[in-house]
Amino acid sequence: MSHFEPRYSYGGDEFIFVEMDEAMSLDANFRAMSITRTLKEKEIPGIMDICPSNASYMVRFIPEEIHPDKLIGELKQIEKSIQSLNDFEIHARIVDVPILFDDPWTHEALMRFRDRHQDPNSTDLEYAARINGFKSKQDLIQAISDSPFLVSMVGFVPGLPWCYQMVPREQQIEVPKYVRPRTYTPERAFGFGGAFAAIYPVQGAGGYQLFGVAAAPIYQKEQTLPDFRDSLVFPKQGDIFRFRSISMDEFEAVRTKVENGTFKYLTKEITFTPDEVIENPRKFSETVLGRLYHD
């Protein structure tokens, strides 16, 4: 556990920014999640928005209704009251997210921008496998599929999930972003940057290493699919995603269901405490996968 003391900063006249740690960790993310959920429950007058992030959070407030120093005092009290993460229960969804790794569309995109990459002579998967000590790109794909990921935050563009693998820190897969960003990334591209996996909800620019493509959307403005009836955005902070490697045949079958409006993500509900994850991530991963596919 980090011994970093949370840092409270003023952001103009209407924002307080709180950095829980200088580096992302499950502990920092769970603490930020616990504090922001407690803050929301308190319904303090003058608070407009609460935005949890990977290892930090930000609060927007109305200065005429609450003084920033008073708000910081409230936040410090909440932080102090959370003595143990074992007292904080997370009610979340486990989600099967089918991914076609090494697909032709992201491959075509990444090959257009090799001059912006650390290693122009290899693909993103090959490069990531090598620098993480895997013998092949298939071994890297297996490592990604073997353990679930926590959706640590949603943002940057609408619906983009930042996903942190629930494994011991020394087993985290890490890759740098491109030296210079691409000007094109396909919709639903599955990428990796730093220690985070992400799915690009729409076509656009980007700098994450491209590993594959998601078969189903995570953002749908038309809201025609069952998973999007209540929101344009599917991911929620606290979700647990299992990125499952699929074949081209299954990819096309999922795309057909998406196009005819019948696709629905396989999901299961789970309740857990952060300490369960932090103390024994391997056992927690087995529990998650067992619940998702066998319960």
Report the pLDDT averaged over residues 263-289: 92
How many other C-beta atoms can be found within 10 angstroms of the C-beta atom of residue 91? 9
Q: Is the pLDDT of residue 157 over 90?
A: no
Say yes or no: 57 and 110 in one domain.
no
Are 256 and 262 contacting, i.e. CB atoms less than 8 angstroms apart? no
Same structural domain for residues 145 and 215?
A: yes
Domain check: are 111 and 257 in the same one?
yes
b/e sequence 154-176, b meaning 16+ C-beta within 10 Å: bbeeebbbbbbbbbeeeeebebb
Q: What is the pLDDT of residues 77-118, one digit of tens each?
A: 999 988 777 778 889 999 999 999 999 999 999 999 999 999
Radius of gyration of the chain (CA): 20
Rounded to an integer, the average pLDDT of 197-211 is 96
The mean pLDDT value of the chain amounts to 94
Q: Is residue 1 part of a domain?
A: no
Residue 164 domain-assigned (yes or no): yes
Q: Is residue 2 in a domain?
A: no
Round to whole Å and give the CA distance between 18 and 35: 11
Q: What is the mean pLDDT of residues 223-246?
A: 96
For residue 208, give the nearest of 156, 130, 135, 277 by alpha carbon: 156
The predicted structure's pLDDT at residue 60: 97
Residues 103, 168: one domain?
Answer: yes
* Domain match, 193 and 57 both: no
On the 0-12 / 13-18 / 19+ scale of CB atoms within 10 A, 141 is: buried
Q: Enter the tokens of residue 102.
A: 């090494």
Does the pLDDT of residue 1 top 70, yes or no? no
pLDDT (0 to 100) of residue 258: 97
Do 246 and 144 reside in the same domain of the chain? yes
Report whether pLDDT(38) > 70: yes
Task: Quote the CA–CA distance of 177 and 112 in Å, as a whole number.
Answer: 16
Residue 81, sorted as left (phi over 0), alpha (psi -120 to 50) or beta, turns out to be: alpha
Task: Examine the fold and report which residue of 62, 83, 104 is the final residue of a domain before the chain moves on.
Answer: 83
- State the amino acid at position 16 in one-letter form: I
- Check whether residue 55 and residue 184 sit in a common domain: no
Give 19-36 pLDDT, tens digit per residue: 999 888 888 999 999 999
Last residue of a domain, one of 83, 101, 122: 83
The total number of structural domains that make up the chain: 2
- Please give the residue that has the higher pLDDT: either 294 or 180: 180
On whether residue 184 sits in a domain, the answer given is yes
In a domain, residue 73? The reply is yes
Please say whether the dihedral angle defined by the alpha carbons of residues 43, 47, 51 and 54, taken in this order, is positive or negative: negative
CA 273, CA 92: separation in Å to the nearest integer? 11
The CB density around residue 50, as the number of other CB atoms within 10 Å, is: 15
Structural tokens at position 82: 């959370």
> Cα–Cα distance between 96 and 266 in angstroms, integer?
5
Q: Is residue 139 part of a domain?
A: yes
Q: What is the CATH number of the domain that holds 103?
A: 2.40.100.10
C-alpha–C-alpha distance, residues 194 and 209, integer Å: 9
Whether residues 153 and 265 fall in one domain: yes
Task: Report percent pLDDT > 70 for the chain.
Answer: 99
pLDDT at 194: 95
Show the tokens assigned to 35: 């504090």
Calpha distance 88→276 (Å, rounded): 11
Q: For residue 68, which phi and psi values (nearest 5 degrees)? A: -60, -35
277 and 136 inside one domain = yes
- Average pLDDT (172-195) is 97
Residues 222 and 142 in one domain: yes
The answer, yes or no, to whether residue 2 has pLDDT greater than 70, is no
Task: Assess whether pLDDT exceeds 60 at residue 252.
Answer: yes
pTM of structure = 0.92
Q: What is the CATH number of the domain that holds 19?
A: 3.30.1360.40
pLDDT of residue 85: 79
From CA 215, how far away is CA 199, in angstroms rounded?
Answer: 11
Amino acid present at 91: H
Residues spanned by the domain of 38 = 7-83
pLDDT at 279: 87
d(CA 168, CA 281): 7
212 and 238 within one domain: yes
What three-state secondary structure class fits 92?
A: strand
Residue 87 confidence (pLDDT) = 77
Among 60, 83, 106, identify where a domain stops: 83
Same domain, 154 and 68: no
pLDDT at position 161 over 70 = yes
